[in-house]
């Protein structure tokens, strides 16, 4: 038998971690649930304390549990979330010297495809939900910057969510989390000085137009329109950044 033919047998700790991970991702264990005591789990899985703690270390590294030591300690469950995935993906992108422009370009591709999917699947409930998001955004046009940015993001993510593709939704939310971290202290944030009213109203008008296109346009029209809007938005956000600004998520 060659080295390539050998099958690696998982360690006992990995097997225990797999069992607990399966319960978490399938929803049998929920956010904040306390795992049974070490004694109970050792008996359930037929393993020693060091093996169980190895399983805990694996799950802690995956952000699926947190363990508090001491008399009142124990393990509590954390369901998989976008923030954890975005942190890891962001670290890989930064290591690979990806640029902020890369991330915006990818967001444009994925979001415009989401608009195209939504245009094929649109129904009354989809359009009603988008109208609700438009109304919420309109209410922030004369408010503070943070409220408008939150409503703007909610509309964009709403379009993706309503496309009803879980993979696409996850990837776009990861990109938004990465962009938010990358621009938190950057000039790509909307400037606090000056009147942002005209830009907000142009943005809101573009969102209204997308809903009109989704309501009455051909399937491909929504995707084309949303791509152009996202490209224009990216140009505005990146206008004060060098073209090849490398992601900096660690500062």
What domains lie within the chain, and their CATH numbers? 10-77 (1.10.10.10), 83-237 (1.20.120.530)
Helix %, strand %, coil % for the chain, to 5? Answer: 65, 5, 30
pLDDT at position 186, please? 52
Nearest to 56, CA basis, from 46, 47, 65, 48: 65
C-alpha to C-alpha distance for 175 and 117, rounded to whole angstroms: 19
Per-residue pLDDT of the chain (251 residues; tens, 9 = 90+): 455 556 677 899 999 999 999 999 999 999 999 999 999 999 999 999 999 999 999 999 999 999 987 767 789 999 988 988 999 899 999 999 999 999 999 999 999 999 999 999 889 999 999 999 999 999 999 989 999 999 999 999 999 999 999 999 999 999 999 999 887 745 444 444 456 789 999 999 999 999 999 999 887 899 999 999 999 999 988 887 665 778 887 66
What's phi and psi for 99, nearest 5 deg?
A: -100, 160
Give the count of beta carbons closer than 10 Å to the beta carbon of residue 9: 8
Q: Which pLDDT value is given to residue 4?
A: 55
The pLDDT of residue 208 is 98
For the stretch 18-41, what's the b/e string if a residue is b when 16 or more beta carbons lie within 10 angstroms of its beta carbon? Answer: eebbeebeeeebeeeeebeeeeeb
Q: What is the structure's pLDDT at 72?
A: 72
Cα 134 to the center of its chain, rounded Å: 22
Q: What is the model's pLDDT at position 49?
A: 94
Pairing label, strands 65-68, 74-77 = antiparallel
């Amino acid at each position: 038998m060659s080295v390539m033919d050998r099958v690696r047998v998982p360690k006992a700790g990995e097997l225990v971690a797999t069992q607990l991970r399966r319960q978490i991702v399938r929803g049998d264990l929920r956010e904040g649930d306390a795992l049974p005591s070490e004694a109970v789990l050792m008996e359930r899985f037929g393993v020693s304390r060091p093996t169980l703690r190895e399983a805990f270390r694996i799950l802690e590294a995956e952000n699926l549990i947190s363990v508090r030591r001491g008399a009142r300690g124990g393990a509590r469950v954390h369901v998989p979330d976008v923030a954890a995935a975005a942190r890891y993906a962001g670290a890989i992108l930064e290591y690979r010297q990806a640029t902020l422009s890369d991330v915006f370009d990818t967001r444009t591709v994925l979001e415009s495809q989401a608009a195209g999917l939504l245009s094929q699947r649109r129904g009354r409930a989809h359009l009603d939900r988008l109208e609700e998001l438009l109304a919420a955004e309109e209410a922030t046009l004369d408010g503070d910057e943070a409220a408008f940015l939150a409503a703007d993001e909610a509309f964009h993510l709403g379009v993706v969510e309503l496309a009803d593709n879980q993979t696409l939704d996850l990837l776009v939310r990861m990109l938004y989390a990465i962009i938010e971290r990358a621009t938190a202290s950057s000039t790509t944030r909307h400037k606090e000085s000056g009147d942002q009213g005209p830009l907000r109203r142009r943005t809101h008008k573009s969102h209204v137009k997308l809903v009109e296109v989704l309501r009455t346009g051909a399937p491909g029209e929504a995707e084309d329109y949303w791509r152009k809007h996202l490209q224009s938005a990216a140009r505005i956000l990146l206008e004060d950044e060098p073209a090849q600004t490398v992601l900096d998520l660690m500062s």
